[in-house]
Amino acid sequence: MTEEGESAPTVAVVGGGAVGVTAAHDLAARGADVTLYERDELAAGSSGRAAGVLYDAYAEDVDAAVGARALERFRAFDRSLPGFSFSPCPYVIAVREGDPDADAVPAMVERMRAHGREVSLVDPDALGERFPALRTDDLAVAAVAEGAGWTDPPSYVRALGRRAAREGVAVETETPVALGPRTDAGREIRGRDAGADGNSGAETRAFDAVVVAAGAHTRSLLADAGVSVPVVPYRVQALVCPEPYDGPMVYDATADAYLRPHPDGLLAGDGTEPVPADPDGYRREADDWFREDVAAVLDERLGRDGRTEQIDPDADVSRSWAGLCTATPDGDPLVGPVDADETAGRDSIGAPAPSLFVAAGWQGHGFMRAPAIGETVAEGVLASLAGVASDAPDSPWIGAFDPARFDGDEAFEIAEGMSLSNRTEGE
Nearby residues of 422 by Cβ (< 8 Å), 6 or more positions away: 331, 363, 415, 416
Query: What pTM was estimated for this model as a whole?
Result: 0.92
What is d(CA 169, CA 175) in angstroms, rounded to the nearest whole number? Answer: 15
Residue-wise pLDDT tens for the chain (427 aa)? 555 557 999 999 999 999 999 999 999 999 999 999 999 999 999 999 999 999 999 999 999 999 999 999 999 999 999 999 999 999 999 999 999 999 999 999 999 999 999 999 999 999 999 999 999 999 999 999 999 999 999 999 999 999 999 999 999 999 999 999 999 999 999 987 644 444 445 589 999 999 999 999 999 999 999 999 999 999 999 999 988 899 999 999 999 999 999 999 999 998 899 999 999 999 999 999 999 999 999 999 998 654 444 444 444 334 899 999 999 999 999 999 998 554 433 444 456 789 999 999 999 999 999 999 999 999 999 999 999 999 999 999 999 999 999 999 999 999 876 555 555 444 3
Contacts 24+ apart (CB under 8 A), 284-287: 284/321, 284/322, 284/323, 285/317, 285/320, 285/321, 285/322, 286/237, 286/238, 286/239, 286/317, 286/320, 286/321, 286/322, 287/237, 287/322
User: What are the boundaries of each domain within the chain?
Assistant: 10-48+154-231+328-424, 233-245+255-327
**Which CA distances in Å does 375 have to 153, 161, 243?**
18, 15, 37
What is d(CA 213, CA 17) in angstroms, rounded to the nearest whole number? Answer: 8
The class of domain 10-48+154-231+328-424 in CATH terms is alpha beta
What is d(CA 251, CA 297) in angstroms, rounded to the nearest whole number? Answer: 11
Give, as one character, the DSSP assignment of residue 244. -
